Amino acid sequence: MLSETLESGLREYAIGEKLRTLRLRKKMGLVQLGRHTGLSPALLSKIERGLMFPTLPTLLRVALVFGVGLDFFFSDPRRRHALGVVRRAERLRFAEKEKGAAYSFECLDFAAVERKLNAYYAEFDAAPVGKVLSHQHGSAEFLYLISGSLGVTVGHDDNTLHSGDAIYFDSSVPHSYRRIGKPPCSAIVVTVP
């Protein structure tokens, strides 16, 4: 039995509510979560309703299923950064040239935790002739071309974008980019993990 002080302190973290939110976000039932964690649905229900507090190993099993760290359950939601401001000077530039790609990107949203999307500022260089490499990732991508002209190949479909054009596509399909012409070419790229 926990002392009143410990119980009061643990309640402030709202572990059960956070667990329920994660579970419902994934549209998962207690039985299904129980199968993934090896914990009984009754135990999970008691934790969600705040009738009991989980041990760290129990909480870690749940955290692993949802891809969050233990800190998710112990951070104050008012202090978690559901928003994030990234100043231009704080952005780091990552060049993909060593992998054969002819673009560089800067993450625009790294200050926000628990992101549901990833946003980048990208600049495209002229690709070496015959060296356009395709890649695939995630589930969806959106690209808005700020300047220049860009060829975007998605699967077998070739598309040419000009300044102000946008494209949305399934990023699990192999895709590639190539700058068209000499003028600088830049875009905002949003991906969904």
Res. 118: pLDDT tops 90:
no
Domain assignments of the chain as residue spans, ordered by start: 4-74, 88-192
Res. 4: pLDDT tops 70:
yes
**CATH superfamily placement of domain 4-74:** lambda repressor-like DNA-binding domains (1.10.260.40)
pLDDT digits (tens, 9 = 90+) for 87-110: 888 877 776 654 556 788 888 887
Does CATH place domain 88-192 in 2.60.120.10?
yes
Of all residues in the chain, the percent with pLDDT exceeding 70 is 89
Which is more confident, 101 or 35? 35
pLDDT digits (tens, 9 = 90+) for 52-74: 999 999 999 998 888 888 888 88
pLDDT digits (tens, 9 = 90+) for 131-177: 667 888 878 999 999 999 999 999 999 999 999 999 999 999 999 99
Cβ contacts of 140 within 8 Å, gap of 6 or more: 168, 169, 170, 171, 191, 192
Mean pLDDT of 6-35: 89
Cβ contacts of 114 within 8 Å, gap of 6 or more: 68, 72, 80, 82
Mean pLDDT, rounded, of the chain: 86
Can you say how many angstroms the Cα of residue 131 is from the centroid of all Cα atoms in its chain?
A: 29
Confidence class for position 79, pLDDT limits 50, 70, 90: low
- For residues 37 and 63, give the distance between their C-alpha atoms in angstroms, rounded to a whole number: 9
Collapsing DSSP to helix, strand or coil, 98 comes out as helix
